[in-house]
């Protein structure tokens, strides 16, 4: 019986060399280990970068405008300063413009002035108005008031027109409409007394 037991015992060491292959399998584990950290860091950095562009734009970025209208209030005016062209001054296309009628005198005798109003898509804080005009000179008063009462309210800024003029207010104002009240017309390149307002930008 002892011999049988011995025979049985002998095969036992045989399988032991067969346990040699597992160590080589374990050796592959270290090569697999660096992969998760590398994947973690690479997936982490892209997720951080997109959050940067979503920050709010620069302080001077334009405010969305929902409407525009020319103002030629009675009794001196007849509401006929090309009202159908008003939207051209807020369409983002500098090639199109709103124009007033042409006057012999840039100071528009017999009228307190003519106006142009823009309506903001929603009430907001306005601190500057940029005007792109085909011409130069004249005088404009800028107010944060209702288009129906264009000559009321404080004059926030005023000055001459030009191809690219920005009027910055001393103090920002809360408003949903901005009125440009023109007391003296600029001159176009050919010397005509009228305003050709290509774009109004409110910021």
pLDDT tens profile 101-133: 999 999 999 999 999 999 999 999 999 999 999
**3-state secondary structure (DSSP) of residue 89:** helix
What average pLDDT does the chain have? 83
Q: Using the 8-state DSSP alphabet, how is residue 93 labeled?
A: -
Q: What are phi and psi of 122, to 5 degrees?
A: -150, 155
With cut-offs at 50, 70 and 90, classify the pLDDT of residue 15: low
Query: Omega into 75 within 30° of 0, i.e. cis?
Result: yes
Q: Residue 56: what pLDDT?
A: 37
pLDDT tens profile 169-187: 999 999 999 999 999 999 9
pLDDT tens profile 146-158: 999 999 999 999 9
CA distance 158 to 184: 11
53 has a pLDDT exceeding 50: no
Element (H, E) at 111: none
**Dihedral sign from CA coordinates of 198, 141, 137, 73:** positive
Q: Residue 61: what pLDDT?
A: 82
Strands annotated E in 55-162: 65-71, 98-99, 114-133, 137-143, 157-161
CA distance 165 to 128: 10
Smallest Cα–Cα separation from 178: which of 96, 80, 69? 69
């Amino acid at each position: 019986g002892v011999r049988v037991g011995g025979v049985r015992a002998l095969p036992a060491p045989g399988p032991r060399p067969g346990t040699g292959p597992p160590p080589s399998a374990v050796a592959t584990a270290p090569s697999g280990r660096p992969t998760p950290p590398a994947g973690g860091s690479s997936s982490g950095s892209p997720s951080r970068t997109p959050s940067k562009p979503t920050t709010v734009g620069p302080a001077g970025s334009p405010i969305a405008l929902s409407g525009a209208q020319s103002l030629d209030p009675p009794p001196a005016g007849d509401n006929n300063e090309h009202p159908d062209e008003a939207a051209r001054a807020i369409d983002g296309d500098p090639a199109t413009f709103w124009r007033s009628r042409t006057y012999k005198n840039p100071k528009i005798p017999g009228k307190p002035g003519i106006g142009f109003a823009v309506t903001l898509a929603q009430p907001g804080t306005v601190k500057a108005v940029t005007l792109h005009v085909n011409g130069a000179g004249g005088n404009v008063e800028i107010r944060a008031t209702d288009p129906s009462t264009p000559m009321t309210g404080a004059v926030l800024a005023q000055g001459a027109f030009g191809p690219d003029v920005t009027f910055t207010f001393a103090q920002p104002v809360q408003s949903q409409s901005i009125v440009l009240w023109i007391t003296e017309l600029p001159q176009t390149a050919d010397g005509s007394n009228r305003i050709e307002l290509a774009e109004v930008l409110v910021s």
